[in-house]
Copies of this chain bind each other. A is one copy, B any other.
Amino acid sequence: MTVFDLPDVTNLIHTALAEDLGVGDLTTRLTVPPGVRARAEIMAKEQLIIAGLPLVRRVCEACGRGATVEECVDEGAPVAPGMIVARLTGPATTLLAAERTALNLLQHLSGIATTTADYVGAVAGFGCRIVDTRKTIAGMRALQKYAVRCGGGFNHRIRLDDGILIKDNHIVASGGVSAAVMAALAGAPHGIKVEVECATLADVREALAAGAEAILLDNMNLEDMRTAVRLVGGRATVEASGGITLESVRDVAATGVHIISVGALTHSVRAVDLSMSLYLER
């Protein structure tokens, strides 16, 4: 059994509720009598992988006392259209205040998990990891990377301080692949590997000779990838990156790369369809 290790979301939920509620829910104040209690169901409207379900309770708690949330599926589980993923009870005013913020988070994160699972499924059998990138949406980095894990993917570095990835612009600024790799190896913290982006097979050879511990093949064609994997011969981790789609990912995996990074997992998220229905309690 797996745990996905939800990051601290206190500030994010506060921010999200503040930008949705402002000084309060005007429509509900005017139309819903204060004492009314209700229950609500959140239902999947399409096939999806659920991610972010624990946030529903957190959002409700932040909206006031007295609401309870029952999660009906496990985080990371596949969910069929029509399935209830959570049941809520509490004051109608609280449930209505929480509705949009909770759904926005759940639809976005489940969208990421669902797409990630599609990529993971597409490379099944190749022992190749699908990983995310730093191409995330402002403020959502930790949650988006959590959702990638829920979908069966792995995380690339989280920030600029927890990994070394020498990219094209670093190579320009430092005077070449060898110089950059050797400088990085000399100063790298002992727990962190040095990875370098290579645009050509010549770059790959230079990086290997300099001692790179991981090599990112940037926008290479399949044949060059295969050659690169052979050149590396297990001496470094090989990552493929650059415009890889659900259509092309299996061919990329077949080249023997260990890691495929997909920016679209987090920068171009399709929200999956989930909705909440409210019922008055008698």
Contact = CB atoms under 8 A, between A and B. Distances in A.
Interface of A: 1-3, 5-8, 12-13, 15-36, 38, 40, 92-93, 95-97, 99-101, 103-105, 107-108, 111, 129, 131, 134-142, 145-146, 154-170, 172-174, 179-180, 183-184, 186-193, 195, 214, 237, 239, 258-259, 263-264, 267-271, 276-280
Q: Which 10 pairs between the two chains have the least Cβ-Cβ distance?
A: A162-B162, A22-B161, A3-B34, A16-B138, A139-B139, A22-B159, A169-B278, A267-B271, A25-B160, A23-B142
A192 B241 CA distance: 19
A26 B278 contact: no
A273 to B, nearest CB: 9
B19 A142 contact: yes
Given A137-B137, A160-B97, A162-B158, A27 B104 contact: no
Given A190-B129, A214-B190, A267-B104, A169 B23 contact: no
Contacts of A268: 111, 269-271
A95 B170 CA distance: 11
Question: How many copies of the polypeptide does the oligomer hold?
Answer: 6
A141 B20 contact: yes
A230 to B, nearest CB: 19
Contacts of A32: 170, 173-174
For the residues of A in contact with B, the DSSP-based class is mixed
Contacts of A101: 138
A192 B195 CA distance: 11
